[in-house]
Amino acid sequence: MIDRISNANIMSMMETLRAHQAQSTGSSSSVSESSSTKIEGQSNFFESVKTALDKVNDTQAKSTAMTDAYDRGENVPLTDVVLSMQKSSLAFEATLQVRNKVMKAYEEIMNMPV
């Protein structure tokens, strides 16, 4: 289980996505220029991804905190600890499946004949 997703990892993932986006559009502009342009009223995909990853990270952090509190002997019901662990695991698995689907779709698009 991932205890913490660092901002550096998130930024690295976002830069990779931006690079692939620039490559797929055939854009010769730099990655920073393409990422800074935003159509007004349109939600930013990268902000949405970061928000989702932050929520998963928070869920995992809360689960770890509850587990540690239970291990220290604090008054935390075991059912709450197990439930938080399951929520954390489910959130991580869902994120992993979304990532796999996005990568598969990207590969299919890149393999399409033009």
CA distance 85 to 78: 11
Own/partner contacts of 82-88, CB < 8 Å, gap of 24 or more, are 84/59, 87/59, 87/63, 88/1, 88/59, 88/60, 88/62, 88/63, 88/64
pTM of the model: 0.59
Per-residue confidence (pLDDT) for residue 47, from 0 to 100: 87
Q: Please say if the pLDDT value at position 103 is more than 70.
A: yes
Residue type present at position 32: S
Give pLDDT tens digits for 58-80.
Answer: 999 999 999 999 999 999 999 99
* pLDDT tens-digit map of 32-48: 444 455 555 556 888 88
- Supply 114's token pair: 């033009």
pLDDT of residue 33: 47
How is residue 52 written in tokens? 């989702």
Torsion sign over Cα 39, 45, 46, 50: positive
Domain residue extents for the chain: 7-110
